[in-house]
Structure 1
Amino acid sequence: MPTGVAIRDVREQLFEAAERILLRDGPSALTSRAVTTEAGCAKGVLHRHFADFDDFLAELVLDRAGRMAAQATALRDAAGTGTVVGNVADALTTIFRSVAVALVALITFRDELRARLRRTWPAGVPLLAEAVIMVADYLMAERDLGRVAAGADVGMLAPTLIGAGHLLFADRQASPPEPEAVRTMVSTVLSGVLPNPPVSGGA
């Protein structure tokens, strides 16, 4: 690693290497040596910036969860435009076609990583918890605009949508679901709270 490289750049280089390994080979292939090899770094670089490998993985998960803030803002700003089903389906596709599914699998795979995350994130899986908050905030905005029924329980609808979305995208070896399949799932979950439900096949 050249001298003078910003710590943030080193961290991101290592994070991106870990993501590539996760997406290509799955959580069982993710080791500190695999990450530094993938990143083209000396073996000791990771341990100069993180206490240990699980500390590195916890920081990776929290960093990627934090990056969802921009998407949450974009989704909330979309309230009142397009259709509710289309907006939610697009948001779920963006979330789950990223590295999020692989990171959730990693958290499930590593007991020590879950323990580290609980120190700063006491409940839920960070990426999925942020996604639930994002969708709930959007549905509340649409409820305020009258495009979602006034009595809609967004606190229940949001985790239902995230859970169903995760199941649709969870098979890492299979092709991602067709956009129509995602829209159909969203439309089904929201069918009782949309004042003007889209016709079948609509977005």
Structure 2
Amino acid sequence: MPRGVAIPAIRQQLFAAVDEVIVRVGPGRLSGRAVTSAAGVATGLLYAHFADLDDFLAAYAVDRSFVVSASAATLPERAGSGTVAGNLCDTVHATPLPTVLALTRLLVSRPELVDRVRAVLGDRAAGLDAIESAASEYLARERRLGRVTTSAEPEALATALVGVLHRLVLTAGTESDVHDRVRRTVTALVAGVTTATPHQ
């Protein structure tokens, strides 16, 4: 098989190992050996499918950013249904926390990967950017529907939402604790801008 072309099952096995390594010891301890050891495969397997560690991590960042983007993409369509806080929280929780945690920490430690993700997926697609974009569009739609006050600023609220998520992810405790803190914080964040009587 040509170098740089990976079997999908092997790719996902190795990507899951990145999640595990970053959650356990942080992105600073990432190495080809650490990843293949966590994946339970031979060290050379990673380099049989990727040019080098940077190439592998770029592929990982693109894959995980796509997962986050795909989960966030449906948020604007939920405008007018459920609750505003509930819809935002559901979107944040749609991607497994270990994946969000690992991706966010990796992009913070290796910011050059952001440009490589954007080159493949487009602007506002790297890491949590997709959630921010989707939340901004969603809140704008809810404002037009009257479920969010006209004085609300969707972009600012979306930025605050992602700031909260970023902070909690980088200081993560247990998954249930993070989910609880996200829900309480998001509920408080939008409480002042949601309306009891939407436009008819």
Question: Normalising to structure 2: TM-score of the pair?
Answer: 0.79
Kindly indicate whether residue 29 of structure 2 is the aligned counterpart of residue 32 of structure 1: no
CA change 1:139–1:101 in 2 (3 A) is same
Residue 56 of structure 1 deviates from its aligned partner by 0.8
Q: CA contact under 8 A between 2:89 and 2:182: conserved in structure 1?
A: yes
Alignment of 1:9-158 (within 5 A): 9-95=9-95, 97-110=97-110, 114-121=111-118, 126-158=126-158
Task: Give yes or no for contact 1:55–1:116 (8 Å, CA) kept in 2.
Answer: no
CA RMSD of aligned residues (A): 2.9
**1:17-69 deviation digits (Å, cap 9, x = unpaired):** 21122222322332101112222322222122222101211111111111124
8 A contact 1:104–1:125 mirrored in 2: no
| Distance in 1, Cα, partners of 2:182 & 2:162 | 11
- Any stretches of 5+ residues in structure 2 without a counterpart? 1-5
Could you tell me how far apart the structure 2 residues matched to 1:121 and 1:13 are?
24
For structure 1, list consecutive stretches of 5 or more residues without a partner in the other structure: 1-5, 198-203
The amino acid of 2:114's aligned partner reads L
Asked if the contact 1:96–1:166 (Cα under 8 Å) also holds between the matched residues in 2, the reply is no
Using a 3 Å threshold, how does the CA distance of structure 1 residues 106 and 120 change in structure 2: closer, same or farther?
A: closer
How far apart, CA to CA, are the structure 1 residues paired with 2:28 and 2:83? 40
Code of the aligned partner of 2:92: L
- Mapped to 2, the partners of 1:119 and 1:60 lie a distance apart of 11
